Amino acid sequence: MDVGILDLLRRVASAEAEIRLLNVYQGIPIAFPAAIVYVGQNSITVKTERYQLVCLYQERQTYIQYPGFPAIIRARVERLEPQVLQATLTEFEYTREGIGDRRQIRVWPKEGVTGELQLPERAESIRGELADISLDGMGIYLPDNEYYTHLFRQGRKVAISLRLPGVYQIKQPKRYEGGSMGEVNRYDRTQLRLSTIHTPSYGSDREDSTAIKTIHSPEIEVYGIISNHYTEANTRRYRIGIRLQPNEQYRSIVTQFISQRQSEIIQELNALYRLLTRETGALR
């Protein structure tokens, strides 16, 4: 650990200034101010917002931003106290990963979305799975083998066609179903998972005063250029990144999809925080 970083954080605490914590949850940047309430020998304790706290629990790390720092700092989460919105951070190091530099919001689909990829010189299309999507780009998972690595090289043009789930909504008769206890029974106290949270699936009725059925969008066709390709470290899946040339239809549908996913993600974060606060004592 760089001891100079801890000295900088100590000065911020003495000035009663706030740092900003940055995490990414399902593609959405989550960045809230945090007050440094204690500086130890190798760690600091911060107080922040509930959404940030859930991200700290999920990722076990965070990134620290402050105008006077030479670079963004990465820190490991050592301890969480959800009831008082506090977390203890340690193992500080500068990072050049470019986190926080993304100009467009990019979201992950809630459910699997497959699409067809077409290269100009090939007659047959190739199926891929949507990894994430924004207004000017998307990531696509492909099988990890030499054939696809050779085909989808950086700089090649590609056409993509797919349907996004849940973009259009129609009113449905209300169905009343019990389910509040299921959330508690599915709660694994050793590790929170998104599967423990009940959020409406695409094509299901929402649990509000007016039931809504969500349906898939019309087929989107958009063109782009492959900007990168790599195997993800966390999933070990091969993916390509595509820089798009979006048309009006694409922008309209994807804007709705991103807005919907943002709302769903806020619901998930609130539900996860409620589960976290049911634990007594600190979480490690």
Helix (H) and strand (E) counts for the chain? 5, 14
What percent of the chain is modeled with pLDDT above 90?
63
pLDDT band at 47 (very low <50, low <70, confident <90, very high): very high
Question: Which of 44, 25, 133 shows the shortest CA–CA distance to 88?
Answer: 44
pLDDT for 104: 74
CA 109/CA 271 separation, integer angstroms: 19
Name residues whose C-beta falls within 8 Å of residue 214's C-beta, 6 or more positions apart in sequence.
165, 166, 167, 168, 169, 200, 202, 203, 204
**pTM to 2 decimals?**
0.73
Say how far apart CA 143 and CA 97 lie, in whole Å.
Answer: 26
271-to-10, 36, 57, 69 alpha-carbon distances in Å:
34, 26, 14, 34
Residue 198 DSSP symbol: -
Question: How far is it, in rounded angstroms, from Cα 19 to Cα 5?
Answer: 13
Per-residue pLDDT at 196: 40
Give the integer Cα–Cα distance in Å for 34 and 221: 43
Domains and CATH numbers, the chain: 3-95 (2.40.10.10), 114-276 (2.40.10.220)
* Mean pLDDT rounded to a whole number for the chain: 83
Element housing 118 (H / E): strand 114-118
Distance CA 102, CA 24 (A): 11
> Mean per-residue pLDDT for 264-269?
94
Per-residue pLDDT tens digits for 206-227 = 444 455 555 677 889 999 999 9
Residues ≥6 apart with Cβ < 8 Å to 182:
198
* Nearest Cα residue to 118 out of 86, 88, 160: 160
pLDDT per residue as tens digits for the range 141-196: 998 888 888 899 999 999 999 999 876 554 555 544 444 444 433 334 334 444 34
- pLDDT at position 143, please? 86
243 C-beta neighbours (distance < 10 Å), count? 12
181: helix, strand or coil:
helix
The pLDDT of residue 145 is 82
Percent over 70 (pLDDT), the chain: 77
Confidence of residue 204 (pLDDT cuts 50, 70, 90): very low
Residues 6+ away with beta carbon under 8 Å from 62: 21, 22, 23, 52, 55, 56, 74, 75, 77, 87, 89
Is 111 in contact with 165 (CB distance < 8 Å)?
yes
The residue type of 13 is: A
The pLDDT score that the predictor gives to residue 209 is 46
